[in-house]
């Protein structure tokens, strides 16, 4: 709703009231319409101020209303009536003015903002466009290039930038509503002719066509297959080329193509999923709202390889004091040079400053004696990690949290090496650790709720999306990835090429297909793990070469590594590169011959494989593992898995994440295809649909937000 009152004698003050972000729900819109009518009809009122309750102007349309039957007054005529008013209307912006909130402010004649406010049109991130006149008013106000940038990226700008761009008329450090009321009094009676943005023309530009062509290329490259950014460009083009009324028609038409699209559903689901992962819980009953995180002011990182350096930077950027430990002198010296320049680059990118003294370096573990939390990031070797944890347990304060950055090793086993296993958790960062948003917080059997809460909170402070997961081989993300990679290898054996598989995945929306990604991250990484697990044995011949523990196995990755083909770093992998470290993947005839010979050697007759099979085999098997993970309680809900895949593995956000995608495709279809593939490949047991997936289908395939009930019922019967 909206509250209306008269203040300072002649100012009608309208306050949006819909906590926490004053979203424009039907009742808020009705409240605004009624209040504006009242203010304009009251002869004592000479000007109007619109503000939001509790220091937030407005977080935009109420996203929860989108999936339902829309009711209440629509935004477009509401904003039009405000702009057409014959009394000055001033927006008093505090907190956020986003989406419909900023569009409402653009309909006002003046905009005054607090210096700490953030403004933006983030509709594109929800699969939409700013369809309450945003695409037509913003370019008229700040010019086409700047508007294109804001609308197609959805980025939030500070009040200072908004002032510079011309979105705001004034920025204040004081009480914004008081300043706005005084301002409203000062402009009483002034002409509003030059204040109605819809009457402006866009500033002329010399080469509109190339500007829009470039913008189109940019958005298509940034989010492969996403339709909203394309529609945003088209709508802004309408602002640049058509009169306002026709531009508004075009905006409406384009919005109609987006509003009920699968991509909009996926992105809106993901908006709430991101927030749901913060409300973590574990099978033992620990929860986000009953667990108290401990304060962490000083942290340590053990091991300054690529991951350790990234983690050190991320901790320092979060304002912590960091002790960075590396026992190899040469590596320590390199890290001492690399970390400050990474910090400097980050500061330039983020427009922030960093305290250079916040990091101290040491060659001995003894230096961590007084820290609150340690993150171990040494080489992925259990014996080495055991030793580090034993040492830490002796050196650190008894209440120091001990975290491991292992990507797959047993957190419970590492905890058992310490005096306080309840203070051990996994903090699995993704490379580069100071850039990638995802953090898997891995709780062990004995991790205390406070330890999990502390790691989750620290992740948040570091700007990460922290997802709590249970302890198992590969945790959630890498465990699912393993199945996906294996299917990709099998497809090569059966007749596909890396190019075909990658094309299918990239057209689906991944920034890189599985083979290009594997070349980038290095084939030797997985090879080392497979060797440690006793899998990478290329001396085996005949049928046993392609079988491990009774299941199908492909040694293709191992064979490539034996040829010294580690990917980009060696200039050869699944593709060839112009030099070691080269970035541009080119098809490699050597690889195709190698595959032909390999198939001939193993009596494999290549067949024609289409993109649909690639997608079904690679993605459905990954999804199936996701259901297995949910069934085992390793992840608490589908949102956790979806956040992991979008933030850590390049799953296209406009497809919502693997579990949401399964819901969109239809669970019955996923089961049917998995069964078919399992029949064709009976020696791949994980192609069999998981018990949970089958149970969901048996329960009538409920929508994704109801899956937790089915999981809960199952767990309560155990
Ligand atoms: C007719 C179609 C017209 C479309 C035009 C639009 O306006 S589309 C909506 C555009 N607006 C946005 O995309 C803004 C979304 N919100 C945010 O970016 C942030 O919430 C915020 C406003 C910057 C505040 O961030 P903060 O970190 O302080 O809070 P949370 O993000 O945790 O949010 C608090 C709770 O509020 C819920 N919520 C936020 N925005 C909306 C919204 N627009 N509609 C509905 N609900 C919203 C959010 O989900 C949180 O709820 P929980 O239950 O606590 O999870």
Report pLDDT digits (tens) over 297-314. 999 999 999 999 999 999
Residues 550 and 410 in one domain: no
CB atoms within 10 A of CB 268: 19
Task: Band the pLDDT of 529: cuts 50, 70, 90.
Answer: confident
Q: Is 268 in the pocket of ligand 1 (CB under 6 A)?
A: no
User: What percentage of the chain exceeds 90 in pLDDT?
Assistant: 92
Closest CA to 57 of 85, 109, 115, 17: 17
Residues 93 and 220 in one domain: yes
* pLDDT tens per residue across span 358-391: 999 999 999 999 999 999 999 999 999 999 999 9
Three-state helix/strand/coil letters over 428-473: EECCCCCCCCEEEEEECCCCCHHHHHHHHHHHHHCCCEEEEEECCC
* Domain final residue pick, 260, 281, 312: 260
Average pLDDT over residues 42-60: 98
In a domain, 243, yes or no: yes
Beta-carbon contacts of 318 under 8 Å, excluding residues fewer than 6 positions away, are: 458, 461, 462, 463
Residues 218 and 358 in one domain: no
Quote the pLDDT of residue 354.
Answer: 72
- CATH number of the domain encompassing residue 152: 3.90.226.10
Beta-carbon contacts of 620 under 8 Å, excluding residues fewer than 6 positions away, are: 662, 670, 673, 674, 677
Task: Band the pLDDT of 713: cuts 50, 70, 90.
Answer: low
CA-only gyration radius of the chain, Å: 28
Alpha helix positions (H), 277-381: 306-317, 329-350
Quote the pLDDT of residue 307.
Answer: 95
Q: How many domains does the chain have?
A: 3
User: What percentage of the chain exceeds 70 in pLDDT?
Assistant: 99
* pLDDT tens per residue across span 657-675: 999 999 999 999 999 999 9
Q: Is 100 in the pocket of ligand 1 (CB under 6 A)?
A: yes
Beta-carbon contacts of 200 under 8 Å, excluding residues fewer than 6 positions away, are: 140, 141
* pLDDT tens per residue across span 483-511: 999 999 999 999 999 999 999 999 999 99
**Tokens representing 102?**
């900023």
Task: Band the pLDDT of 714: cuts 50, 70, 90.
Answer: low
Residues 500 and 471 in one domain: no
Average pLDDT over residues 105-131: 98
Query: Whole-angstrom Cα distance, residue 112 to residue 172?
Result: 8
Q: What single-letter DSSP state applies at residue 328?
A: S
* Domain final residue pick, 212, 233, 260: 260
Tell me how far the alpha carbon of residue 25 lies from the centroid of ligand 1, in angstroms.
12
Residues 347 and 461 in one domain: yes
In a domain, 197, yes or no: yes
In a domain, 564, yes or no: yes
Residues 74 and 186 in one domain: yes
Res 718 pLDDT > 60: no
Residues 317 and 253 in one domain: no
In a domain, 59, yes or no: yes
CB atoms within 10 A of CB 390: 14
Q: Which atom of ligand 1 is nearest to the CA of 134?
A: 5
Residues 461 and 503 in one domain: no
Quote the pLDDT of residue 146.
Answer: 98
Residues 111 and 248 in one domain: yes
**Tokens representing 50?**
């619109």
Query: Whole-angstrom Cα distance, residue 638 to residue 621?
Result: 16
Q: Are 442 and 471 in contact (CB under 8 A)?
A: yes
Taking each continuous run of H as one helix and of E as one strand, the counts in the chain are 29, 19
Domain boundaries, position 194: 2-260
In a domain, 453, yes or no: yes
The residue with greater pLDDT, 372 or 715, is: 372
Task: Band the pLDDT of 716: cuts 50, 70, 90.
Answer: low
Closest CA to 481 of 492, 473, 493: 473
Quote the pLDDT of residue 340.
Answer: 94
Quote the pLDDT of residue 356.
Answer: 67
Q: Are 367 and 323 in contact (CB under 8 A)?
A: yes
* pLDDT tens per residue across span 269-283: 999 999 999 999 999
Q: Is 96 in the pocket of ligand 1 (CB under 6 A)?
A: yes
Beta pairing partners, 51? 15
Res 717 pLDDT > 50: no
In a domain, 692, yes or no: no
Q: Is 63 in the pocket of ligand 1 (CB under 6 A)?
A: yes
* pLDDT tens per residue across span 402-424: 999 999 899 999 999 999 999 99
In this prediction the pTM is 0.95
Average pLDDT over residues 650-661: 98
Q: 3-state class of 582 per DSSP?
A: coil
- CATH number of the domain encompassing residue 351: 3.40.50.720
Pocket test for ligand 1, best of 19, 59, 124, 151 (most atoms within 8 A of CB): 59
Residues 243 and 339 in one domain: no
Res 447 pLDDT > 70: yes
Q: Are 193 and 216 in contact (CB under 8 A)?
A: no
Quote the pLDDT of residue 348.
Answer: 83
* Domain final residue pick, 540, 574, 602: 602
Q: What is the mean pLDDT of the chain?
A: 96
Query: Whole-angstrom Cα distance, residue 235 to residue 130?
Result: 9
Q: Give the catalytic positions in this structure.
A: 103, 123
* pLDDT tens per residue across span 185-224: 999 999 999 999 999 999 999 999 999 999 999 999 998 8
Res 347 pLDDT > 90: no
Q: Is 454 in the pocket of ligand 1 (CB under 6 A)?
A: no
Res 87 pLDDT > 80: yes
* pLDDT tens per residue across span 609-640: 999 999 999 999 999 999 999 999 999 999 99
Tell me how far the alpha carbon of residue 59 lies from the centroid of ligand 1, in angstroms.
5
Q: Which atom of ligand 1 is nearest to the CA of 255?
A: 2
Q: Are 521 and 478 in contact (CB under 8 A)?
A: no
Q: Is 19 in the pocket of ligand 1 (CB under 6 A)?
A: no
Q: What single-letter DSSP state applies at residue 616?
A: I
In a domain, 244, yes or no: yes
Quote the pLDDT of residue 68.
Answer: 82
Average pLDDT over residues 692-713: 93
Quote the pLDDT of residue 223.
Answer: 87
* pLDDT tens per residue across span 536-588: 888 888 788 899 989 999 999 999 999 999 999 999 999 999 999 999 999 99
Q: 3-state class of 174 per DSSP?
A: coil
Residues 32 and 141 in one domain: yes
In a domain, 190, yes or no: yes
Q: Which atom of ligand 1 is nearest to the CA of 60?
A: 7
**Tokens representing 434?**
């100071």
The residue with greater pLDDT, 349 or 334, is: 334
Residues 72 and 207 in one domain: yes
**Tokens representing 711?**
């999981």
């Amino acid at each position: 709703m909206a509250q209306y009152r008269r203040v300072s004698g002649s100012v009608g003050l309208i306050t949006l009231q819909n906590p926490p972000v004053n979203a424009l729900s039907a009742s808020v819109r009705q409240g605004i319409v009624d209040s504006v009518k009242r203010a304009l009809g009251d002869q004592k009122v000479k000007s109007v101020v619109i503000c939001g309750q509790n220091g937030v102007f407005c977080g935009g349309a109420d996203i929860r209303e989108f999936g339902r039957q829309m009711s209440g007054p629509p935004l477009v005529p509401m904003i039009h009536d405000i702009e057409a008013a014959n009394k000055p209307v001033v927006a008093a912006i505090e907190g956020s003015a986003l989406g419909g909130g900023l569009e409402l402010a653009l309909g006002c004649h003046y905009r005054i903002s607090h210096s700490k406010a953030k403004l933006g049109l983030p509709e594109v991130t929800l699969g939409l466009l700013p369809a309450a006149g945003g695409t037509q008013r913003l370019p008229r106000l700040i010019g086409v290039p700047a508007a294109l940038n804001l609308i197609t990226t959805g980025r939030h700008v500070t009040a200072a930038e908004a002032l510079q761009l011309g979105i705001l008329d004034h920025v204040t450090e004081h009480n914004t509503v008081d300043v706005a009321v005084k301002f409203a009094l000062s402009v009483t009676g002034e002409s509003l002719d030059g204040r109605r943005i819809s009457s402006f023309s866009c500033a002329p530009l010399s080469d509109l066509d190339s500007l829009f062509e470039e913008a189109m290329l940019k958005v298509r490259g940034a989010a492969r297959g996403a339709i909203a950014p394309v529609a945003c460009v088209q709508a802004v083009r309408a602002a640049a080329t058509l009169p306002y009324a026709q531009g508004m028609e075009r905006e409406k038409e384009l919005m109609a193509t987006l509003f009920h699209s699968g991509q909009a559903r996926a992105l809106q689901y993901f908006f709430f999923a991101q927030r749901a992962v913060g409300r973590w819980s574990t099978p033992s009953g620990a929860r986000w709202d009953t667990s108290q995180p401990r304060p962490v002011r000083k942290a340590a990182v053990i091991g300054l390889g690529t991951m350790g350096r990234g983690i050190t930077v991320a901790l320092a950027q979060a304002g912590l004091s960091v002790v960075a430990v590396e026992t190899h002198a040469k590596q320590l010296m390199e890290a001492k040079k690399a970390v400050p320049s990474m910090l400097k680059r980050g500061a330039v990118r983020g427009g922030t400053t960093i305290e250079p003294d916040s990091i101290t370096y040491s060659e001995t573990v003894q230096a961590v004696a007084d820290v609150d939390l340690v993150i171990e990031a040494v080489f992925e070797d259990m014996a080495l990690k055991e030793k580090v944890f034993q040492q830490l347990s002796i050196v650190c304060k008894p209440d120091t949290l001990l975290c491991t950055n292992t990507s797959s090793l047993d957190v419970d086993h590492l905890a058992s090496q310490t005096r306080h296993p309840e203070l051990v958790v996994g903090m699995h960062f993704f490379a580069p650790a100071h850039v990638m948003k995802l953090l898997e917080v891995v709780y062990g059997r004995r991790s205390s709720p406070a330890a999990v809460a502390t790691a989750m909170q620290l992740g948040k402070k570091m700007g990460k999306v922290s997802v709590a997961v249970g302890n198992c081989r590969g945790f959630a993300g890498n465990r699912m990835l393993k199945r996906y990679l294996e299917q990709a290898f099998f497809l090569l054996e059966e007749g596909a090429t890396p190019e075909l598989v990658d094309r299918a995945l990239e057209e689906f929306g991944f920034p890189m297909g599985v083979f290009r990604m594997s070349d980038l991250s290095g084939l030797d990484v997985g090879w080392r793990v497979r060797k440690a697990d006793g899998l990478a044995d290329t001396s085996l011949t005949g049928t046993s070469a392609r079988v491990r523990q009774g299941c199908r196995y492909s040694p293709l990755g191992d064979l490539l590594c034996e040829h010294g083909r580690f990917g980009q770093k060696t200039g050869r992998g699944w593709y060839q590169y112009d030099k070691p470290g080269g970035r541009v993947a080119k098809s490699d005839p050597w690889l195709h011959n190698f595959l032909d010979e390999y198939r001939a050697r193993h009596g494999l007759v290549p067949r024609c494989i289409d993109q649909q099979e690639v997608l079904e085999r690679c993605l459905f098997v990954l999804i199936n593992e996701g259901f297995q993970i949910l069934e085992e309680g390793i992840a608490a809900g589908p949102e956790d898995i979806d956040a992991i895949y979008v933030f850590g593995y390049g799953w296209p956000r406009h497809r919502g994440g693997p579990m949401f995608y399964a819901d969109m495709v239809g669970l019955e279809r996923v089961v049917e295809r998995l069964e078919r593939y399992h029949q064709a490949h009976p020696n791949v047991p994980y192609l069999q649909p998981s018990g949970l997936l089958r149970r969901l289908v048996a329960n009538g395939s409920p929508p994704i937000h109801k899956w937790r009930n089915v999981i809960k019922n199952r767990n309560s019967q155990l």
